[in-house]
Amino acid sequence: MLQRTHFIRAGLVGLATFALAGQAIAQEKFPSRPVRMIVGFGAGGSGDLLARILAQQMSQTLGQQVIVENRPGASAIPATEYAARAPADGYTIMEYTTTLAVNTVLQPVPYDLFRDFTPIAYTFSAPLVLLTSGTSPNRKVSDLVAYAKANSKGISFGHGGVGSMSHLSGELFKRDVGIDAVSIAYKGNAPAMSDLIGGRLDYYFSSVNEVLPNIRGGHLHALAVTSTQRDPMLPDVPTMVELGYKDFTPVVNWGFLAPRNTPPAVVKQLQDAMIKALGTPAMQERLAAVGASSRGAGGPDVMTSKMKAEIARWEPVIKAANIKRD
């Protein structure tokens, strides 16, 4: 009887050891199938282009395909919820962009960025450029500010949608330079840009790569960029910091999140693949092409700090301007 009991116990210990070994092997094998990278916007935008080249470089490191899956619509809220509810196994990750932080301030969302996600890495950012029409006499920030203060009828700025970076940056500019301006919402950047070029708007904030041809063609004036250093694509255009507005540094930030409870070892493997990808010539070339930079890239702690900082920056602006989505 004692011998039989000993045999059973030994068998159970063996099974437990085998199970633990199996778990370890399973963890070591990540990834054993393709990883999906969820992008909450349509194909062709800066975030999508950067995600695709990052995914390509990560695939080489991980030994499995990283596939970009676009889920556009409703300011990326449905896509973010989808990613939050995905299995916490590392095979579904979400591209974070500043819009995700803004969403949490503008309206109730069915997830919590800090509770429902595990940060993987902060990867890149891109500045904005302050623009006026090519026919406008306002060729410097000081010109635009003086014009606004002298114009009793007020001035206007356009944006591509409520809560967009062009909208929030336009409101932040009003506050920081001390002017009054009416915001005019458009259904996307293209119609707003048409009105800006036509002189029907007084100023506009845009990502650099989207307007570079119109700047070089003389259809738009670039007054300043919002990065802390001059943009290589616009080396003659000063930063707002240079002009004395030391806190006017709104940029679009990107990073990546995994569903909550994703194993730390898997998160670290994804993080390492991302950081390695950022150092490749192909990635740096693509970043430069869209006016973005990987300066300051880092792991989960950096990503968490960026998200908190973006909410802290934009929440007062949104509340002061009483910005709401329908």
pLDDT of residue 154: 85
Tokens representing 92?
A: 């579904």
Q: What are the helix (H) ranges across the chain?
A: 2-28, 46-62, 77-84, 98-106, 141-150, 165-177, 189-197, 208-216, 264-278, 281-289, 300-320
Tokens representing 257?
A: 């999140």
User: Mind listing the domains of the chain with CATH numbers?
Assistant: 34-126+251-320 (3.40.190.150), 127-225 (3.40.190.10)
The radius of gyration of the chain from alpha carbons, rounded to an integer in Å, stands at 24
pLDDT of residue 294: 96
Q: Which of 118, 98, 121 is nearest to 46 (CA)?
A: 98
Side-chain half-sphere exposure of 196, counting CA atoms within 13 A? 33
Q: Which of 162, 189, 167 is nearest to 325 (CA)?
A: 162
Compute the distance between CA of residue 234 and CA of residue 75 in angstroms, rounded to an integer. Answer: 29
pLDDT of residue 17: 45
Dihedral sign (CA 39, 41, 44, 45): negative
Exposed, middle or buried: residue 292 (CB in 10 Å: 0-12, 13-18, 19+)?
A: buried
pLDDT of residue 28: 59
pLDDT of residue 242: 98
- The whole-model pTM stands at 0.88
Tokens representing 83?
A: 């990613």
Compute the distance between CA of residue 121 and CA of residue 298 in angstroms, rounded to an integer. Answer: 6
* pLDDT digit string (tens) for the chain, length 326 residues: 444 444 444 444 444 444 443 444 445 589 999 999 999 999 998 899 999 999 999 999 999 999 999 999 999 999 999 999 999 999 999 999 999 999 999 999 999 999 999 999 999 999 999 999 999 999 999 999 999 999 978 899 999 999 999 999 999 999 999 999 999 999 989 999 999 999 999 999 999 999 999 999 999 999 999 999 999 999 999 999 999 999 999 999 999 999 999 999 999 999 999 999 999 999 999 999 889 999 999 999 999 999 999 999 999 999 999 998 87
Q: What is the 8-class DSSP label of residue 293?
A: B
Q: Which of 296, 320, 293, 294 is nearest to 306 (CA)?
A: 296
